[in-house]
């Protein structure tokens, strides 16, 4: 398999002369060599586990965990300054025997994990928790928060019909993001990290 470089040399080399990008440059070169001969080693087999639908006094709530979402290469990429975003799709449908199910709710949530190489600190931004950026020195803590949804309010209970049947469907994937500056010219390695789970469904009656 062949790969090629397609970038503007002066701008690219000027960028990576900066100290904060030297580690990332080395990482990308290593990954480029790896991509040429062994990309199948990065195949993802992510699944959604611990999918729980419950309720508070007023809201329908969702809890879930994604297993096998990270690889060592992904962790190294994040630590070298490449942010990663997990996207979650959540759909709530009311079952109808004689008709197509009625979609009541369709949500898209993003969890974006990045690393500040100067502060040696991970930052996690979750769209369902605006203004609540998680900052930690621990990769394990950051990963745990990245792969979980805890108590997402999917729908007010008053919007649900008593004794009706419902389906709550969820899937997760690694979102494709544009790499900053000239990084995306190095190699199209983002595809090596791709994962997308199957739809996971919980059926319940309210």
- The mean-pLDDT minimum among 15-29, 78-92, 138-152 falls in 15-29
- The mean-pLDDT minimum among 25-29, 71-75, 103-107, 194-198 falls in 25-29
197: in domain: yes
124: in domain: yes
- The pair of structure tokens assigned to 173 is 């994937």
13: in domain: yes
128: in domain: yes
What pLDDT, on the 0 to 100 scale, is given for residue 195? 74
Residue 52 has pLDDT above 70, yes or no: yes
Predicted TM-score (pTM) of the model is 0.74
Spatial distance between the Cα atoms of 60 and 123, rounded to a whole number of angstroms: 28
C-alpha distances out from residue 191 to 39, 184, 196, 204, Å:
9, 12, 12, 36
Q: What is the mean pLDDT of the chain?
A: 78
What pLDDT, on the 0 to 100 scale, is given for residue 155? 97
2: in domain: no
Q: Can you give the CATH number for the domain in which 61 is found?
A: 2.60.40.10
CB-based contact 63:51 (threshold 8 Å): yes
What pLDDT, on the 0 to 100 scale, is given for residue 62? 97
154: in domain: yes
33: in domain: yes
Residue positions counted in the chain: 206
CB-based contact 61:154 (threshold 8 Å): yes
Pairing outcome for strands 84-94 and 134-136: unpaired
User: Is the pLDDT higher at 40 or at 149?
Assistant: 149
How distant is the alpha carbon of residue 183 from its chain centre?
20
185 exposure class (CB count in 10 Å sphere: 0-12, 13-18, 19+)? middle
What pLDDT, on the 0 to 100 scale, is given for residue 1? 37
4: in domain: no
User: Is the pLDDT higher at 182 or at 59?
Assistant: 59
Domains of the chain: total:
1
For the ranges 38-52, 65-79, 118-132, the one whose mean pLDDT is highest? 118-132
Coil, strand, or helix at residue 14? helix
Mean pLDDT of 175-203: 64
- Domain membership of residue 165 as a residue range: 9-205
Coil, strand, or helix at residue 176? coil
């Amino acid at each position: 398999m062949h790969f090629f470089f397609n970038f503007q040399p002066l701008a690219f080399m000027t960028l990576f002369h900066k100290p904060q990008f030297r580690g990332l440059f080395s990482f990308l070169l290593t990954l480029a060599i790896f991509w040429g001969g062994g990309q199948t080693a990065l195949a993802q087999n992510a699944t959604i586990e611990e999918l729980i639908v419950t309720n508070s006094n007023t809201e329908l709530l969702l809890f879930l965990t994604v297993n096998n979402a990270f690889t060592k290469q992904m962790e190294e990429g994040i630590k070298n300054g490449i942010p990663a975003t997990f996207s979650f799709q959540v759909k709530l449908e009311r079952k109808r025997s004689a008709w197509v199910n009625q979609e009541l709710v369709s949500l898209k949530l993003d969890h974006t994990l990045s690393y500040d190489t100067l502060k040696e600190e991970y930052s996690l931004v979750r769209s369902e928790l605006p203004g609540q950026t998680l900052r930690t020195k621990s990769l394990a803590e950051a990963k745990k928060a990245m792969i979980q949804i805890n108590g997402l309010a999917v729908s007010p209970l008053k919007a649900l019909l008593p004794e009706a049947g419902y389906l709550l469907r969820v899937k997760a994937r690694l979102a494709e993001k544009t790499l900053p500056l000239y990084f995306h010219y190095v190699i199209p390695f983002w595809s090596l990290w791709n994962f997308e789970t199957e739809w996971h469904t919980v059926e319940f009656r309210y």
